Structures are given as C-alpha cells and as structure tokens.
Amino acid sequence: MLSPNPPLESLIADAKARLKQHYDCDATLVAVAPGRVNLIGEHIDYCDGFVLPFAIERSIIIVAAPNGRSEARIATASTDEPAVIALDRTQITGSPKWSNYIRGVIHGFNARNISVPGFDAFIVSSVPGGAGLSSSAALECATATLLEGLTGEVLSTKEKALLAQKAEHDFANVPCGIMDQFASAFGEEGQLILIDCQNGEPQLVPFADPSLTIIVANTKVSHELSDGGYAARRKSTEDGLALIGKASWRDVTSEDLAAAESKMDATTFKRSRHVIGEMHRTLEAAELLKQGKARELGSLMYASHASLRDDFEVSCEELDILVDIAEEIGAEGGVIGARMTGGGFGGSTVTLCEADKAEDIAQKLAEGYQIRTGIQPEIFASRPADGARLI
Ligand code: GLA
C-alpha cells in the first residue's frame, strides 16, 4: 500500500531519453529539486512564525542542454503542451500555465542582470501535483538551479529560495510565505528545517531515529476554494495583528489577544488564536526533537490539526478523515501523531510513525479512507532528503 519513491537514477534516465526524443540533444545539465512536507507550523510562515518542514524523497528533475537559440524549449512528462519562452525580452506570464513558474524564475535572474542563454529541456516529476506537497516550489527551485548551471552564476541558497518565492508571487499570483521554497532549497538528508520566518534563517534539526518514519497520505482532493481561501486567511491574520496593535506576531501573547478580543469579529479572533497557538506548538516540537523525544510529538500534531480545522478553517472532510483514522490506529498501532500539511482545502496529511509499522498503517489508512470516501488515496513514506542541486 505504500507506493515506492521512484529512484532518482531511473527518473533522470527517463528524462534524458525523452529530451533526446523531443529535441534530439544530449543533456549536459541535470537539476533536481524536492517537494516538501511540513511536520508542524502551518499557515504561520507569513506571520513571522516558525515552521518545521523537510524536503521529501520526491523531486522534480529537469535535464537540459544549451541550444544556441534565443529561446527555451521545454517539454514535460505531465502534459502534452510544451513551452517556448523567448529569452531576448522581458518575461511576462504566458501559456501553457505551468510555464509561468519557469518564466518567473528566468525573470528573477534577468532582474539580477544575469541573461539566460537558449536551452532545450525536459521535465519529469515524482512529486504528486495538487497534493499540497509543493510541486510548484520544486519546479521553481529546480529551474533556478538549472539556470545557475547554465549561466555559471551561483546564488546563495537563501537568495535562490527568495527568487523562487517571488516567481510564485508575481507569475503564479499566489501570495505564499517562504516555507515551501526554503524547504526545497535548504533540504538535507536526515534533517528537518526549523525556519525562523521573521529573519529568514533556517536551522537544521536532526530527524535521527532510524526506527521512525513519516507517512504522507494524499486525499486526492483539491477543493476549489483554495486560491481565494489562502489569500483570505493571510488577510485575516493581517487584520488581527492590526487590531492587536503590534508590529509582528512574534511579539503577540495570548494576553494581548484576549485584550483585543472585543475589537475583533469572531472569525478574526479564531484566526489569531491559531497563529499564537501554532507558533508555540512548533517551537515545542522542535525542542522535543532536539532532545530526542520525537515520540512525544503526537499531542502537538493533533492539536495543530484541530486548530487548522476549527479556528483557521483550512481543513476539509477528507483530511479530517485521514487524521481521524491515524488517531484511531493510535500509538498501539505505531502512529505517533498526524495532521494536515501544507495550505489545506484538500492535499495531504503527514503521519509520524514507527518505521516497522508503516506498511501496516498505510494499509489501514487506505482501507478506512476508501470506505468512508470512495477515493483511493496515494500513500508513501519519506524521510528528510537533500534539497535542490545539480547532479
Ligand atoms: C502553502 C504556502 C506556504 C505556507 C503553507 C501553509 O504551502 O505556499 O507558504 O503558507 O501553504 O503553511
């Protein structure tokens, strides 16, 4: 029931063969960037909060070769629609839609006075799309890494992640925080990444215990609300902070919120309560992990999910069902904790569990979910993996 993570070597070999088939050239560059799962710290990266994601063993791979033209020609295994991007002019959004992530990253290089030479490329992916696993951040980071190889201009990891985030803002119109691109860029095998979203500094937190693993369960649903819903949540937190009267959520206490409650509508109050609670839960989780107490994370994960469901209202029935089943399996069955991960309104859950029970847990999650929803979920396990790189 656990679907295997396709080995990188075979994905690369496949991409190279398809590049040859499409554009009759041999790859000289291979860029890889992973998707991410967030263990805890949800919807607070845009509130100066702390988040604790990691790069997963699922990646986007771009193989490429210079083509001597003034355009990029890019095909992908996921759609039949290739992209042709003129490189001798200012980048603007265009079609196909997926090419905007690439256009945005090219724009970021141009904005730094780095011109991009023509290239042909083929993209393959093992990151499920629309599953809340940041396939878009992976595409942006893989593109930025490829362009570093093509131009010889290597950015700092932080600058690369910020460039990728700006591409998402300006070319995909999603006002995201920094978590996804940071996780894809800074990922390291065996390490979670505690990101201080106020100063943009990542700190590695070992996920060291080999007897533990993390299961990702994709609900396979993505509710329509998502685009507007994300921006609306972000706006609520800004309204809440303004009513509390502080410059940053980092300085807000539960007492500050209580004092401002009478000025707020009920929704803004609930959103604000989530931000404060999630900030504390994330720091507590990081502390437990540093002390080698990962098995004590369960209550924090369930509380995070409840807060996202009830106060932040970004969960959905399908996510709740997967978390409920995980909780029913419980510690006896090897589950330490579970919660929704990512932006919500569908997407995936993350379940921290005993590695030797992972297969059994995946089976139970799949069966229970299918009975209650009629949908077959996609389930895989992943330990923290390396971030964006050239191979
Ligand atoms: C999306 C955004 C991130 C973050 C999460 C919620 O993945 O891209 O920046 O806000 O949602 O934690």
Where does the chain have alpha helices with state H? 8-23, 99-111, 135-151, 157-172, 179-186, 226-244, 254-260, 266-290, 298-310, 317-329, 358-373
Is residue 144 scored above 60 in pLDDT?
yes
pLDDT in tens, 97-135: 999 999 999 999 999 999 999 999 999 999 999 999 999
How much is the pLDDT for 228?
83
Q: What does the block give as tokens for 335? A: 């589950």
Residues with CB under 6 A from ligand 1: 38, 42-43, 45-46, 176-177, 179-180, 342-343
pLDDT in tens, 156-169: 999 999 999 999 99
Is residue 347 scored above 80 in pLDDT?
yes
Give the mutation target among 180, 340, 350 for probing the ligand 1 site: most ligand atoms within 8 A of CB: 180
Confidence of residue 208 (pLDDT cuts 50, 70, 90): confident
Confidence of residue 223 (pLDDT cuts 50, 70, 90): confident
* Whole-angstrom distance, CA of residue 246 vs CA of residue 19: 53
> What spatial distance separates the first Cα and last Cα of the chain, rounded to whole Å?
31
Ligand 1 midpoint to CA 374 (Å): 28
How much is the pLDDT for 92?
98
Ligand 1 midpoint to CA 249 (Å): 17
Which residue has the least CA distance to atom 1 on ligand 1? 343
Residue pair 351/330 in contact (Cβ under 8 Å)? The answer is no
* Whole-angstrom distance, CA of residue 263 vs CA of residue 381: 45
pLDDT in tens, 250-274: 999 999 999 999 999 999 999 999 9
Ligand 1 atom closest to Cα of residue 45: 10
* Mean pLDDT value across residues 178-197: 98
How much is the pLDDT for 83?
98
Ligand 1 midpoint to CA 138 (Å): 13
Confidence of residue 242 (pLDDT cuts 50, 70, 90): very high
Confidence of residue 281 (pLDDT cuts 50, 70, 90): very high
User: Choosing from 45, 48, 120, 180, which is the catalytic residue?
Assistant: 180
Ligand 1 atom closest to Cα of residue 137: 8
How much is the pLDDT for 356?
98
For residue 164, give every residue at least 6 positions away whose Cβ sits within 8 Å of its Cβ, in sequence order, or none.
Answer: 105, 108, 137, 140, 141, 143, 144, 181, 184, 185
How much is the pLDDT for 131?
95
* Mean pLDDT value across residues 45-63: 98
Is residue 200 scored above 90 in pLDDT?
yes
Is residue 227 scored above 80 in pLDDT?
no
Ligand 1 midpoint to CA 300 (Å): 19
For residue 23, give every residue at least 6 positions away whose Cβ sits within 8 Å of its Cβ, in sequence order, or none.
Answer: 65, 67, 73, 75, 120, 122
Q: What is the mean pLDDT of the chain?
A: 97
Instruction: Name the percent of the chain in helix, strand, coil, to the closest 5.
Output: 45, 25, 30
pLDDT in tens, 293-346: 999 999 999 999 999 999 999 999 999 999 999 999 999 999 999 999 999 999
Instruction: Report the Cα 259 to chain-centroid distance in Å.
Output: 35
**180 given a catalytic annotation:** yes
Which residue has the least CA distance to atom 11 on ligand 1? 343
Place of tokens 């970021």: 108
Ligand 1 atom closest to Cα of residue 43: 12
Confidence of residue 27 (pLDDT cuts 50, 70, 90): very high
Size of the chain, expressed as the number of residues it contains: 391
Give the mutation target among 38, 162, 179 for probing the ligand 1 site: most ligand atoms within 8 A of CB: 179
Ligand 1 midpoint to CA 110 (Å): 26
